[in-house]
Chains A and B, each alone.
Chain A
Amino acid sequence: MTEGSRRYGIASRKEGAARATVLGRWALPWLVILVVLVVWQAVVAIGHVPDFVLPSPTAVLHSIWYNQSELWSDTLTTGGETLAGLAISVAIAVPIAVGFSYSRLLETAVYPLVVASQAVPKLAIAPLFILWFGVGFQSKLLIAMLIAFFPTLVNTVAGLATVPPESVYLVRSMGASEWQIFVHVRMPYALPSFFAGVKVASTLAVIGALIGEFVGATSGLGYTLLEANANLQLDLVFACIVLLSVLGIALFYAIVLLERLVVPWASQRAEASR
């Protein structure tokens, strides 16, 4: 074997490894899920486990299919509460974070209070919100917003703090206005961290909406889940859990997608260091 072909051999093996990694990253998690489902199905079938203790995966699927119209409208309700809560939390957290980055006084005065407010368990306030804002959309939105607010705020504050002072000096030497400095330097530097916060917030917003529905509601996946649980319809309970998970995952990956579009440089950097 010549030096050249040996080198080619190494190169193609490396390529093979890369292909295997890509395949593994996408296929392996699905394979694991499939194995778990098969084992679950087998245990229920072989052990004759009754449906009100543990429904089989096929029973859950059947329940989703059978209740599809009701579950679809529940998913829309919970999804709407989650999305609205998340959107409003971001709309409030970002200006506050920007305000902190410009005013040390504001940060010292308000930030400790915001952090302290996180010690209050949201679950404990939920009944109050139902009392004040009713069993409808509003109370759920507010609970989701309250829970999702903090990670976005903290991460945006942290992101704005990573802006190198020299970059600010540089554009200032070009005669930049504060607004230009913000648009060209501060904001792009903070965006990756902001998105990290919103990703965490998105999963928390789902939980917020769910808490609200548990405490008092007339529709939504949380409401249906509690009802089904009371009636020992465990296949429907599992159906709700599946849909809640799908909702959370879909929201999470929608944000990941948005992040790739808005801050491609950050995800490329993460890709390169992998």
Chain B
Amino acid sequence: MTMRKGSGPRNGGPEPGLDGGSDIPVSVLDVSHSYPSRGALAFALSRISLDIAPGQFVSLVGPSGCGKSTLLMIVAGLRRPTSGHVEIDSVPVTEPYSSLGVMFQTDQLLEWLTVTDNILLQARIRRLPEGQARARAEVLLEEAGLSSFRQFFPRQLSGGMRQRVAICRTLLHDPRLLLMDEPFGALDALTRDRMLRFLQRTWLRRRATVLFVTHSVDEAVFLSDRVIVMSSEAGAIVDDVPVVLPRPRATLTRSQPAFGTAVARIMSYFENDDD
């Protein structure tokens, strides 16, 4: 298995690990998820369908408890839907997709591993060649501005640095599908803004298909090609907002009319929540 950079032609089907290859479509087909609650069935998701084009950056926004994290877990193959299914690259999901990168709100760095070893965990679990993985980790650390911290332990780093290490770990095997569950939710506003630009920069280099869950409308519009709005009551999609803004986006992008229009359209769905 060799590490290929960029998006070359894919041959011989999906292979696990450090793969390049073309990006992949994701289809959520009529997915429902319910759980028993006080004797009745509560629906976290009801009959959700969603198509994500290859290389598209799609955000899911909605109030807490709208089922957006559940949907992400189902796409990740970490939770089974009650009905319906998900197809990644036209293959139904039964287990985590082979070229998948997942990020959670908390960085989940292992305290007993150095920064480098935390990033290499991705390669060790996937049994990828050590030398190539190390070289790739070096490149990512450089991009993240963490080269001089490679031998540090997580507890010696700030929250923003820890989350950057988590991003490096997520990207180590150059995954074709990225699933992120509020990865910057625990960071302060300024750090979060830096992380948004860092994520955009690394994503633009090789566009993976991304499903990004957030409760920040600003974050969703800044990063996405499309923002899916979910409602809290039914666990259903209420709108699908395209964001047509040139990339790379920067802080000034927020002052463009299209940005404001998209934010306002999304926010309008949550207006009635507080009365």
Contact = CB atoms under 8 A, between A and B. Distances in A.
Interface of A: 164, 166-167, 169-176, 180, 184-185, 188, 263-265, 268-269, 272
B149 interface: no
B220 interface: no
Given A172-B78, A173-B100, A265-B153, 16 more contacts: A167-B108, A167-B110, A169-B73, A170-B102, A171-B121, A171-B125, A173-B101, A173-B179, A176-B125, A180-B125, A184-B121, A185-B110, A263-B112, A265-B111, A268-B155, A269-B111
A175 B96 contact: yes
Contacts of A172: 78, 96
A170 B179 CA distance: 11
B201 interface: no
Interface of B: 16, 73, 76-78, 95-96, 98, 100-102, 104, 106, 108, 110-112, 121-122, 124-126, 153, 155, 179
A206 B73 CA distance: 50
Given A166-B106, A169-B78, A175 B126 contact: yes
Contacts of A265: 111-112, 153, 155
Given A166-B104, A269-B155, A173 B112 contact: no
Contact of B76 (A173, A176, A188, A263): A173
A186 B195 CA distance: 30
Given A167-B108, A265-B111, A184 B124 contact: yes
A175 B102 CA distance: 11
A266 to B, nearest CB: 8
A164 B104 CA distance: 12
Contact of B125 (A184, A188, A264, A268): A184
SS of A interface (majority): helix
Contacts of B112: 188, 263-265
A175 B125 contact: yes
SS of B interface (majority): loop
A173 B78 CA distance: 7
Given A175-B126, A185-B110, A188-B110, A170 B153 contact: no
Given A185-B110, A263-B112, A265-B153, A174 B104 contact: no
A175 B124 contact: no
A272 B126 CA distance: 34
Nearest to A181: B125
Contacts of A268: 155
Contacts of A166: 104, 106, 108
A176 B155 CA distance: 25
A173 B100 CA distance: 7
A170 B73 CA distance: 11
B68 to A, nearest CB: 16
A188 B16 CA distance: 27
A169 B102 contact: yes
Contacts of B98: 175
A270 to B, nearest CB: 12
A169 B108 CA distance: 10
A173 B77 CA distance: 8
Contact of B16 (A170, A171, A175): A175
